């Protein structure tokens, strides 16, 4: 059996402070990668947990990636420190539910800036670095971006955009040895879904074939696979990680 070994690889994970991004960072570290982690804040306990086994393989780059310049600066910082980038995981995201007619312009803008514009900026900057060595980009989309959901107009549009970005970037970057895929999680227990409340939770659970919510680690396992050489012949794909929510 091939074991996933990412020793010597440099990975950049956005939104890595908690939830799905934190689980992804943990999985990549366990596979031997050096992880550059971005978010606006991170708890000391989360940093301590990540640094417990390989402290020199965790590097923090705190900042708001909604600003195009900070996304570009993030990749410049990775280049100055490591001179390479092998893995980019565009995970940072926000969800601000509101019914049609009640969605503020500010929420539309913020949702697009963080969920869609920042992955575009990061892919642009990262592709230049990855073109030297090859690489793997994984975007965190959502089942909502594929299927839609009430109260999620802006979020669904941003995640549908991520699906388009994934396919377009995969076509353009394949000749350079850069693979681009996405995962589309369903209902995963994190701070994001906790804010949706019990009624949405109950309704979501009813639609899941496996009968339970997913965990951040279950999404992280799929991301780890796509980042690794086990997925070396896979690009342009959207992998649903939803427990059979949509079959």
Positions annotated as catalytic residues are 155
Let me know if 233 is exposed, middle or buried by CB neighbors in 10 A (0-12, 13-18, 19+): exposed
| C-beta separation of 180 from 173 below 8 A | yes
Report if residue 58 touches ligand NAP, rule: CB under 6 A.
no
Q: Binder to ligand NAP among 114, 180, 226, 245 (CB under 6 A)? A: 114
Local structure of 100: helix, strand or coil: coil
Contact between 17 and ligand NAP by CB under 6 A: the answer reads yes
Establish how many alpha carbons lie within 13 A of residue 93's alpha carbon, considering only the half-sphere containing its beta carbon. 29
Q: In sequence order, what E strands does 141-208 have?
A: 178-185
Toward ligand NAP, which CB reaches closer, 131 or 163?
163
E strand or H helix that includes residue 24: helix 19-30
Q: Does 188 bind ligand NAP (CB under 6 A)?
A: yes
Q: Which stretch binds ligand NAP (CB under 6 A): 4-12, 38-46, 53-61, 126-134?
A: 38-46
The answer to whether 166 contacts ligand NAP (rule: CB under 6 A) is: no
Cβ distance to ligand NAP smaller for residue 131 or 246: 246
- Element housing 138 (H / E): strand 135-140
One of 60, 94, 131, 163 touching ligand NAP (CB under 6 A)? 94
Piece of the chain touching ligand NAP by CB under 6 A; list 75-83, 125-133, 164-172, 191-199? 191-199
Q: Is residue 92 close enough to count as binding ligand NAP by CB under 6 A?
A: yes
**119 binding ligand NAP? (CB under 6 A):** no
Question: String of b and e for 95-115 (b: at least 16 CB within 10 Å)?
Answer: bbbeeeeebeeebbebbbbbb
Residue 74's Cβ-count burial label (10 Å; 0-12, 13-18, 19+) is: buried
What tokens appear for 75 in the block? 């990749």
Q: Which of 187, 227, 228, 235 binds ligand NAP (CB under 6 A)?
A: 187
121 is an interface residue for ligand NAP by CB under 6 A? no
CB-nearer residue toward ligand NAP: 135 or 216 = 216
Residue ranges in contact with ligand NAP by CB under 6 A: 14-15, 17-21, 38-41, 64-66, 91-95, 114, 140, 142, 185, 187-188, 190-193
């Amino acid at each position: 059996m091939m074991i996933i070994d990412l020793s010597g690889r440099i990975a950049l994970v956005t939104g890595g402070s908690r939830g799905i991004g934190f689980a992804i960072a943990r999985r990549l570290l366990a596979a031997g990668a050096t992880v550059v982690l971005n978010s606006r804040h991170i708890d000391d306990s989360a940093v301590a947990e990540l640094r417990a086994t390989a402290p020199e393989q965790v590097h923090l780059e705190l900042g708001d990636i909604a600003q195009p310049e900070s996304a570009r600066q993030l990749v410049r910082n990775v280049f100055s420190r490591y001179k390479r980038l092998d893995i980019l995981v565009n995970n940072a995201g926000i969800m601000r539910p509101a019914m049609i007619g009640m969605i503020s312009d500010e929420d539309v803008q913020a949702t697009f800036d963080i969920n869609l514009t920042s992955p575009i900026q990061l892919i642009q900057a990262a592709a230049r670095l990855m073109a030297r060595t090859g690489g793997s980009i994984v975007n965190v989309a959502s089942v909502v971006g594929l299927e839609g959901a009430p109260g999620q107009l802006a979020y669904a549009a941003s995640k549908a955009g991520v699906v388009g970005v994934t396919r377009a970037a995969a076509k353009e970057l394949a000749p350079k040895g850069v693979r681009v895929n996405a995962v589309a999680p369903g209902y995963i227990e994190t701070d994001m879904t906790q804010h949706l409340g019990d009624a949405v939770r109950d309704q979501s659970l009813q639609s899941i074939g496996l009968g339970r919510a997913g965990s951040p680690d279950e999404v992280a396992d799929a991301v780890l696979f796509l980042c690794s050489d086990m997925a070396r012949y896979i690009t342009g794909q959207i992998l649903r990680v939803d427990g059979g929510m949509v079959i």
